[in-house]
Structure formats: structure tokens, C-alpha cells
Structure 1
Amino acid sequence: MLSELFTDYNSTTYFILGVLAFIAGFIDAVVGGGGLIQIPALLIGFPNAPIATLFGTNKIAALAGTAVAAFHYAKKIVFDFLLLFVISFCCFISSFTGARIVSMINVNVLKPIILFILIAIALYTFFKKDLGSIKTKELPLTKQLIYGGLIGLVIGFYDGFFGPGTGSFFVLAFVVVLGFEFVQASAYAKIVNCVTNISALFVFIRQGNYMLELALIMAAMNMAGNMIGSKLALRKGNDFVRIIFLVVVTLMIFKYGWEIFAPGA
């Protein structure tokens, strides 16, 4: 099977996709947003492949890498599992709903709104130097569950019908709304992302929308990137995560800006 794969496509394409999967995994482990690299890479590498097949292939690689990062974070970060369950459950439901509604919404109409939100996030994070450096809130459990559930519903819905940058939105929401540190927020985001990836992957696998051999190659590289990224995030701390977060948000701003102002380029 693997030999057939490399006879069908240029092996250089697979090498490049592997390298980009590693980079995507590294970024995803720290602040999320690895899909901003991995999905465009697949679209460029396989322009004639069905979109659903590329998304399914991406999800296999992303889930493998996210699981590795979640494991490393779980060894160092103490989780509130009730809060995790509530966020994950709400995210699962709203993500499914978003996926069902996507066919009724022109997502291009929403891109200017998302661009504006991203610019506001970048400016807020840049000028608020202490954001995510320390735990800023000690909310009662009831408020944590309510706010966490709302975060899951809103961002989960976005993940279902659009998706790019979901991990980064989770990180910021956990920092600003729940008062988490950046490293703690990244850890929670990884667990929630595992849940959403599993739910989406269940659909893609049932539909046969994936390229297994390519997915395994990218999964191995994504796992390596996630392992290194999560270790660095835990070792270097919140300042390092904050810098990577700003870089990823800036890339997202350029991506959406390009799609809005130069759609035919």
C-alpha cells in the first residue's frame, strides 16, 4: 500500500507535507491553530482531491498529535474533570449543530467579522502584558461550569461550521473568561480538541473520506511536533506561550485578510 502511495504522487510532496505536519503539531501543542498550516498544505498538495477526504486525512493526523500533547499536559497540569466534561459535552453538541447548519450559511459573509475579532484579540493580548502570566480568577465551581459551558457552545459551534483557529480561540477564552494561565489554558484546549476531533473523525471514517497511508505519515510527524511543543510550553512557561499565541493570531489575521481583500489572487 505504501509503495503504491508513492508511485501515485511525487515523494517530495509527502516529505513537504510531513515537515509541515511537524510544524503544525508544534504550534498546535502550544496554542492551537495547527490547522492553519496543515489544511492549506493538503489543499495545495492535492488540489484535485475531494475536500472531505482532505479534511478526514487532516483530522486523523491532528487527533494523533493532539492526543500526545494532551498526555504530556496531563502529567503536569491538574484538571477539574467535571469542568472538562461540561465544556467537552457542550462543544460536542454545538459542533455537531454547526456542521449541520454550515450548508445553510455563507461562511464568507462571516470572514470580515472574524477578521475584526482577531485584530481585537491581537491588540488586547499585545498591550495587556500580564495576560495569562498568572491565574487571575478564582471563580466558584458553579460559575466555572456555566462560563465553561458557554465557551464550549460558542466556540464548538464555530468549530463545526468553520473551524480554523479553534484551539487558539479556546486558549484565549479560558484565559480571559476563566482566568487561567496560558499553559493551563493550552492544556484544557488540547483535551477539548481531542473530543471535537473524535466526533468529526467518526463522520469522516464512516464516509470513507480519508487517505490512510498519507494520514499515518502526517500523524507521525504531527505527534513529534506536538510532543516537542508541549514539552517546550511546559518548560518555558506562559511568556513563551503568549509569544506563540500572538504569532498564530497574526498569521490568522493575514490569512483572513488575504481571503477577504484578494479572493481571486
Structure 2
Amino acid sequence: MHDLAFHLLLFLFLAAFIAGFIDSIAGGGGMITVPAMLLAGLPPLETLGTNKLQSLFGSGSASLAYAKAGHVDLKSQLPMALLSLAGGAIGAVVATVVPGDVLRAVLPFLLIGIALYFALKPNVADLDRAQRITPFIFGLTIVPAIGFYDGIFGPGTGSFFMLAFIALAGFGVLKATAHTKLLNFGSNLGGFLVLAWYGVVLWKVGLMMGVGQFAGAQLGSRFAMKRGAKIIKPLLVITCIALAIRLLADPANPVRVWLGF
């Protein structure tokens, strides 16, 4: 366990609070917490493990808030959450032995594509539309696949769930957001269990940040439920673009390494 000064702990708590607020609405909280932990001096592997722990509080908090307001039925969605958990666990195992260079190279462009989809598609709103895939097939294929991605890499998972729910399941924006948080909780839990088994979780830091995540997610989910698609859609676009820029700005990004700049 790294002993951190009080000002660094406060910094991480505030970062987690802000991340929880943003993540409960549009996803992408990891783009705040992961750099914050690295900046505070935490080792990279412990940062990933600890981030899974504190993320559980944010996605769990948001799931409870949306369920309490009637936007998601936790009991009926439990099978999908378990499939997401399984995908996240398998992905985390694979992540310990397989380098993620291809994912890091492709992800920024996928995020830009998602941002353009939501920015340019005029009929993305809070109303449900026709399904393009049955719930059974959706749960059996799309959910564990995105959960697997969360376990093996992670950034943008919420955006991918949102896109899948809206484009394939026919959900409105607010309903998609509510269901995304539950499945994100499942994939977070799957990845966390594996990383905790490998002993790369800093418990005190993760639990302290978890309190910040929980509070931020409560505030963010309530804000999203009041404003609906009017706030979720633009924030999702901004979050995807910001995450893509941050990934491409990293000197270690495979695209920059391959191109030599």
C-alpha cells in the first residue's frame, strides 16, 4: 500500500467525485480517475486494479438511483449483468497475458465514430424505437462481448453499451443510460474479482475514491433523469471526443509509435 499525503488523497477523492458524476450520465469516468492515480504516483498495474474497485461504487450507485426511479428493473436485468460479469472476468484474465496495443490503436477512432453517430443522428431521444435484435440474442452476444472489452482494456465501455442499447435494442437515451450502468457494474465486478485475485488492488485508496464515486454518481444520475437526452446526448459526444484525444495524445499510443511522432 502506498502511503499518500493528505493533499493527494483529497485530489483523488475529488477526481473520483467528478468521474462518478460524468460516468453516471455518459460514461468515460476512467479517463479522469486513471490519469489522476498515475499522477499521484500509483504504479500502472495497481492503478488498473484500484480503478476497478472504485468504479464499482460509481456504477453501483448510479444503477440503484436509476432503479429507484423506475428506469431499470434490476431483477429482470440480472441475467444480462451476470453475462457482462463473465465477459469482464474473462477479459481481465486475457489482459494479464495479451498486450492491448491493437485495442489502444483502434479505440480512439471507434470513440470518434460513436461521437459522430450521436452528434449527427437527429432522432436519438428519450423515446424507445423498434428493436433490431431480440433481447435474448443481445444478452447472449453483445453484452458479454462489451464486458470482455471492459475487462481487457476498459475506456469507453459505457459508450459502447449506450450505442448498442440505442442502435440495436431500440432504447431511448435515458433508458439506455440506466441499463448501461447496471451492465457496466457487472463488467467492473468481473474485472475487479480477477485483478483482486492477482493482488493488484490498493484497497484503502480504492475505497476512499469509491466514496467520492458513489456521491458523484448519485448527483449525476439525478441530473440526467431531470434533463434526459438534452444533457446525456451532448455530454456523451464530448466525453467520447475527449477520451479519443487523450488516448491519441499519449506518446506511448501505438498509432503514434507506429507513425513515428
TM range (shorter): 0.7 to 0.9
Aligned pairs for 1:56-95 (under 5 A) are 56-79=49-72, 84-95=77-88
Q: Which residue of 2 aligns with 1:154?
A: 145
CA distance in 2, matches of 1:62, 1:98: 17
**Amino acid corresponding to residue 169 of structure 1 in structure 2:** F
Shift of 1:27: 0.8
Aligned pairs for 1:1-265 (under 5 A) are 8-47=3-42, 49=43, 51-79=44-72, 84-138=77-131, 143-259=134-250, 260=253, 262=256
Structure 1: 4+ residue segments shifted above 4 A: 80-83, 261-265
When normalised by structure 2's length, the TM-score is: 0.87
Q: 1:190 to 1:203 in 2, by over 3 A?
A: same
**Amino acid corresponding to residue 212 of structure 1 in structure 2:** W
Encode CA deviations 1:20-66: one digit per residue, 9 max, x unaligned. Answer: 1111000111121111111111112124x3x3322232222211122
Encode CA deviations 1:129-181: one digit per residue, 9 max, x unaligned. Answer: 22133211256xx8122123221122112112111111121111111111111
RMSD over aligned Cα atoms:
2.5
1:22, 1:225 within 8 Å by CA — same for their partners in 2?
Answer: yes
CA distance in 2, matches of 1:110, 1:220: 30
Q: 1:80 to 1:149 in 2, by over 3 A?
A: farther
Deviates more, 1:88-97 or 1:186-195: 88-97
Encode CA deviations 1:106-133: one digit per residue, 9 max, x unaligned. Answer: 3222333222222221112111122133
Could you say what secondary structure the match of 1:77 adopts?
coil
Segments of structure 2 that go 5 or more residues without pairing to the other structure are none
Query: How many residues are matched?
Result: 256
Q: Which has the higher helix share?
A: 1
Q: 1:201 to 1:154 in 2, by over 3 A?
A: closer
CA distance in 2, matches of 1:82, 1:67: 14
CA distance in 1, matches of 2:99, 2:198: 24
CA distance in 1, matches of 2:199, 2:96: 20
Segments of structure 1 that go 5 or more residues without pairing to the other structure are none
**Amino acid corresponding to residue 233 of structure 1 in structure 2:** A
